[in-house]
A and B are shown apart, each in its own frame.
Chain A
Amino acid sequence: MRVHVARYLLLLALTLLQGCVQPHLARSDSDRALLLSSQRILQLDGEAPEDPYRLHLPPGRHVVHVQYRTYSAHFNCRFEWDAVSGRVYEIVDHSSPEPLVLYRWSRANGLWAERSEPMSPVCESSSAK
């Protein structure tokens, strides 16, 4: 009986998650790529961006510098890659060998999005003080 109650609660929770929550949508323009970052983007192709967390990029090769901060050190991480129009990219802190990772973000279905094609940056650290 108690097992059934637990299963019912789990099913109810999942149903509520699926039915009542509108997933956040990340879309790029068909002629541009979209770059989302959980950390502050310091530079895009040598210039400070207007929005440091969300950029629309023309297709082609780009260089972005992203800051990752800890209480003891700050990291300046450099990504260089070819952006494809219509695609979404995402920079996240992922407990990887380097502090940040760039992924290609794509919607798999209505329930989840997928991260693929990881790319590591080149990072330089400096003291937080």
Chain B
Amino acid sequence: MLLRRYLSVLVCLLSCKVLALEVDTDDLQVITAENIRESMIAFVNVTTGPGLGGATLRVDQRNRESDLLRGGLEVAGDYTLKDTVADFYWGGALAYGALDDELEALGVGGRRLRLNVERSIISLRGSAGFNLPVSQHLTVRPYLSVAGSRLETNTRIQGPDEINLPEIYRDSSVDALTTTASLVAEYDRWQGTRRVEIKGHYNLAYTDTFNASDAGLETWGWNNTLLLRFRYSDALPQSTRGKPWRWNAYAIHTEFFDLDERALGFNAYHELGVGIDYEINIRPLNWFGMRFVGFKVGYLFGDGVDGFSVGITF
């Protein structure tokens, strides 16, 4: 009898896509199918948004443990428009992200379930816009990006440890098209060999999904993201082939506005890091300038989330 009732709850979970997550044993909150779709859109945004670098993020909260990985290859450059103040800006990125989310939930019948969601995404993005030099030290860059993504999800639902129930698996896939309007303001100042850079980066993204294996995944959503970065760098005494090395330290605050914290377990985090750059100063294919090649490592932290980032910068 108990088994039959339990299975009926699981079937309801999958067919009706209605979950109640146990955020706190004394404070249960109901998450609807819309919240599940919002979680999917949030994952697309957090892993493919312009300006977001490679990182791992670990959410370790009561009733929830998840690991998020994102990374990719991103290139960007300017094309000088002769006899105009503005320059043309272009960019492209190949991004990859993965999420392993384990949480405890309550079915609609009030029974405890264990939910394991594994998501992965691969995305290709192109950007175009303008660099507008307001002054020698301040540049504003409005640009548009279009990203096509392929998202795959494996869901596993288990019963509680004390009751031996069959596991239920579900695989799904969906494509997503994200259009992002970005506004970047960069301010920099030199004092001798020292350089201070302050950057604000705002993204407004609209994501629409299609080609879903399950009609319930056809959805759309808006996201707002703000990144604030402070960076200090200075020259090192070393040089290689006559070209100098520089070290840097940076701090970044990333805020995902309108993102329900239940979707991914966080909606903001900070990053502190250091890096080293070599002024290689080349022009690949004589198309665009690549001034620095560097390595950076950063520590990410926030409310219930931490992680690190390691990356090659150029």
Q: Which A residues are within 8 Å of any B CB, using their own CB?
A: 2-3, 5-6, 9-10, 13, 17-18, 21, 23-26, 38-40, 53, 69-73, 75, 92-97, 99, 103, 105, 107-108, 111-116, 118, 125
Q: How far is the CA of A70 from the CA of B188 in the complex (A)?
A: 15
Chain B hits for A40, CB < 8 A: 82-83
Contact A69 B85 (CB under 8 A): yes
Contact A23 B286 (CB under 8 A): yes
Q: Which B residues are within 8 Å of any A CB, using their own CB?
A: 73, 80, 82-83, 85, 94, 96, 120, 122, 124, 132-136, 152, 188, 190, 242-243, 281-287, 289-291
Contact B286 A6 (CB under 8 A): no
Select which of A13, A21, A69 is within 8 A of B285 by beta carbon: A21
User: Who on chain A is nearest to B95 by CB?
Assistant: A6
Q: How far is the CA of A53 from the CA of B132 in the complex (A)?
A: 21
Select which of B82, B285, B289 is within 8 A of A115 by beta carbon: B289
CB-CB under 8 A for A73 and B122, given A26-B286, A115-B282: no
Contact B242 A75 (CB under 8 A): no
Contact B82 A92 (CB under 8 A): no
Q: How far is the CA of A95 from the CA of B132 in the complex (A)?
A: 13
Give the distance to chain A from B293, nearest Cβ to Cβ, in Å: 12
Give the distance to chain B from A129, nearest Cβ to Cβ, in Å: 13
User: Who on chain A is nearest to B280 by CB?
Assistant: A114
User: Who on chain B is nearest to A97 by CB?
Assistant: B190
CB-CB under 8 A for A23 and B285, given A2-B96, A70-B135, A71-B134: yes
Of B73, B83, B94, B283, which is in contact with the most chain A CB atoms at under 10 Å from its CB? B283
User: Who on chain A is nearest to B244 by CB?
Assistant: A118
Q: How far is the CA of A93 from the CA of B289 in the complex (A)?
A: 11
Chain B hits for A115, CB < 8 A: 281-283, 289
Contact A13 B94 (CB under 8 A): yes
User: Who on chain B is nearest to A107 by CB?
Assistant: B286
Select which of A69, A96, A103, A105 is within 8 A of B190 by beta carbon: A96
Select which of B85, B122, B281, B284 is within 8 A of A6 by beta carbon: B122
User: Who on chain A is nearest to B242 by CB?
Assistant: A116
CB-CB under 8 A for A38 and B80, given A5-B122, A70-B133, A72-B135: yes
Contact B85 A70 (CB under 8 A): yes
Contact B135 A2 (CB under 8 A): no
Contact B94 A2 (CB under 8 A): no
Given pairs A40-B82, A115-B283, A116-B243, 19 additional interface contacts (CB within 8 A): A5-B122, A6-B94, A10-B94, A13-B94, A23-B285, A23-B287, A53-B82, A69-B133, A70-B133, A70-B134, A70-B136, A71-B85, A73-B136, A93-B80, A95-B188, A99-B136, A107-B286, A114-B282, A125-B136
